[in-house]
Amino acid sequence: MIHVEGKDDRMVANNLEPHYLTHPGEVIKDELEFRGISQRRLAKLIGVPASQLNEVLNAKRPLSAELALLIGQALDIEAAPLLALQMKYNLLSAKRDKSFLERLKEIPRIAAIFLNNQKIKAPVPGLYYGWLHWINDAGQSLDELYRGE
């Protein structure tokens, strides 16, 4: 989330979320209609049950990596944007699920616990096997503190 001083975070362009969620199946369905290819024909071509493909195209089932690759090969389109759209759809769906949001609120933030209990000074970013780590006054990293070293 990007924060701009004096602006509501929801009004920053990079923080905007679409009102209507787009499932990648809808995009594939539109592409099939544009090309004049039936769902049944595509399903047969890529070797999956027509019912499975139909469920994806009608947003009743998520698009798997394997199916995205199969469809991408058949239609000569990249699978990665379809999978990115599926991930965004999943994340936004979870963010809009009130019961799931309540569950998230119940989970304590471990970094906040360490920051309060271990008196870690201002975070010092550094790469440690690809992860961001913080160092306290004694030179301990966050994962060393977590392990009790």
In the chain, pLDDT over 90 holds for what percent of residues? 50
Per-residue confidence (pLDDT) for residue 80, from 0 to 100: 95
Q: How far is CA 82 from CA 63, 128, 140, in A?
A: 8, 32, 42
Q: For residues 61 and 91, state if they share a domain.
A: yes
| Residue 93 main-chain phi, psi, to 5 deg | -65, -45
Both 31 and 51 in one domain: the answer is yes
Each residue of 81-137: pLDDT tens digit? 999 999 999 999 998 899 998 888 887 666 555 555 554 444 444 434 334 444 444
**Rounded Cα distance, 10 and 130, in Å:** 30
Q: What is the pLDDT of residue 77?
A: 95
Residue 105 pLDDT: 83
> Is 42 domain-assigned?
yes
Please state the domain count of the chain: 2
Among 101, 121, 138, the domain-final residue is 101
Residue 67 domain boundaries? 24-101
0.85 exceeded by pTM: no
At 15, the pLDDT band (50, 70, 90 cuts) reads low
- DSSP letter at 13 equals G
Kindly state whether residue 124 falls inside one of the protein's structural domains: yes
Q: What is the pLDDT of residue 133?
A: 46
